[in-house]
Chains A and B, each alone.
Chain A
C-alpha cells in the first residue's frame, strides 16, 4: 500500500514537472514580456539581439542545458568574474558552516545557562526579544564598518541570524526537561556537570536540533542576500553578477542549485535529529 503510494506520488511529481515545463516553454515561445513592440527605442538598441522580438527569458531546455554545463564543469576558475558554480557554492557553504558553527558554540551553552536559570531567562529575555526580529542584513553596515573585511562581515551576518533560533530552542528545551528526570539525578547525587551532559543534554537534544535546523535554513536564505551585498565570491554574488550580465538562464540555474543545497543541508540535519530523537 505504502509502496504503491510512493510510486503514485513520484508519477504525479513527474507529471507536475512536465506540465510546469510545458507551460513555461509555451509562455516563453509566445514572446512574453519585454518584446520590442512596447520598448523604449533607446533601450531596445541597448538590449541588442534580445530586443529583436526575442524574450530574454530562456525556455526550460536552455536552462537544463546550462545546468548540465555547470554540472560537468563546476570548478573552473577563469578570473574573479568567471568561476564555476561549484566554487561559488563552496564559498557560500563554507561561510554558512563557519557562521553557523560559531553560532552553535555560542548559542548552545548560553541557551543552557538561560534554560537552567530563571534569573538569566528573565534578564536576557528583553534583549533576545528585541534582537530576534531584526533582519540580519541590517547588521551588515555595522559589520562592514567595525570588521572592515567583507568576507568576515558576511560570516558575522550568518552568525547573527543563526544564533536566535538555536538560543531560544536550547533555552526552551533545557527549561522544559521533565522534572522527574532531574529528581532522579538529584536523588542519585549526580553533579551539575554530569546532570547537564547525561540528563539535560540528551533530554533537550531533539529541541536543540530543531533549532539548528531552523538556523541552518535561515542562514542559507541569508547568505545569498549577504553575498549580493558584499560581492567577490559566493553563490549570491554569482546570481547578482549573472543579473548584471543579463544571463537569466544562469540566474535560473543558480536558483535551482541554491534550492538543491538548501535541501541537502536540511536533510543532513534531519538525519542528525533522528539520531538524538527518543520515544517516550
Chain B
C-alpha cells in the first residue's frame, strides 16, 4: 500500500506573458506523492491551477519546471496507463454509449474480436449501472448517466491510475451522491489508484484517503496534506457520525475560507518545506468527544483547529 506510484517533484507551470502582463505563474514548487491503491483528492480554489496540474499528470500539458514520475518513469505525454475522466464528460456525441467505451477499449487492445470487445464494454456498462442504455447517444442521457459513461470509458481500459477532474461538479446533489457511492465501491473493489480534483469538501472526505490542500494562485503551492482518519469503510450515510468527521470538515472549511488566501505567512514560516508539506491528522490529536451531540463536536473541533 505504501509503494509510491505518482511522485510530483517541484512542479511549476508558467503561462507565457500576455501583452501588458508579465509571465503568469499558476503554481510552483509543488511536491507530493500518491501511493499505489490510494485515493487522493486535491482541493483548492478556482484559479490555483488544479486542472492544469491534472493535465500535466495526464500528459496533456507540459510543466515549466519539475517533473511527474509515475512508476519510476517521467511522464512525457499521454498514456493509456493513466485514464482521465473529464469535468465535462467529453463523450463523442455521434457515438452511442457503447461505442464511446469501445473506442477507448480498441485503442488499448486493437486486436480484440467483436464478441470480446462487446463483452468487455458490457462489463463496464453494467459496472456503472447503465445496462439498457448501451445504444443511446449522449444527448439522450442525463448528466449523471453521461458522467457514468465517462467513468466507464476510463475504467474500461484498466488503467494503473485514474485521474478525475471535478467529475461530479456539474451534477445535482442527489445524482452526485449516488455517483460518489458507486465510484467508492468500484474503487474499493478494484484497488485503483485515483487522483481527483474537487472543491467539494464532503466529496473529498468520503472518497479520499489523503487530501492535498493547495493555496490560492498565482504562485500556488501545496499548503499541507490532510490525512483522512476515518475508517475506509465509511459511507455517505454514517460518515458524519464519526468523531473525526467534524474536526476534519472544519479543518478543510477553515482552509478554504481563510487560510488558502493567507498562505504567504504560512509558507514563509521557517518550518515550511515545500518538499515535505506538513501532514495533519485532524481529529486524532483532538480530545475525543464521544458525545454524539454534533454541535459540541463541532465547537470542540473549531476551537481545536483555531488553536
Contacts and interface: CB of A to CB of B under 8 A. Distances in A.
Chain A bound to chain B: yes
Interface stretch (B77-85, B191-199, B267-275): B77-85
A198 B58 contact: no
B107 A190 contact: yes
Interface residues of B, number: 24
B140 to A, nearest CB: 8
A199 B80 contact: no
B103 A189 contact: no
A40 interface: no
B137 A187 contact: no
B93 A188 contact: no
A278 B94 contact: yes
B120 to A, nearest CB: 15
4 shortest interchain CB distances as A-B pairs: A279-B139, A180-B90, A188-B107, A278-B94
A188 B90 CA distance: 13
Contact of B80 (A188, A276, A279): A188
Contacts of A146: none
B261 interface: no
Contact of A187 (B59, B94, B138): B59
Nearest to B55: A183
Main DSSP-derived SS at the B contact region: loop
A183 B88 CA distance: 12
A207 to B, nearest CB: 13
B171 interface: no
Nearest to B80: A189
A185 to B, nearest CB: 8
Contacts of B94: 202-203, 205, 276, 278
B221 to A, nearest CB: 26
A184 interface: yes
B93 A280 contact: yes
A278 B90 CA distance: 14
Contacts of A203: 92, 94
Given A180-B88, A183-B90, A187-B79, 18 more contacts: A181-B90, A183-B86, A184-B84, A186-B59, A186-B60, A187-B60, A187-B78, A187-B80, A188-B80, A188-B103, A188-B108, A189-B79, A190-B107, A203-B94, A278-B93, A279-B139, A280-B93, A280-B139
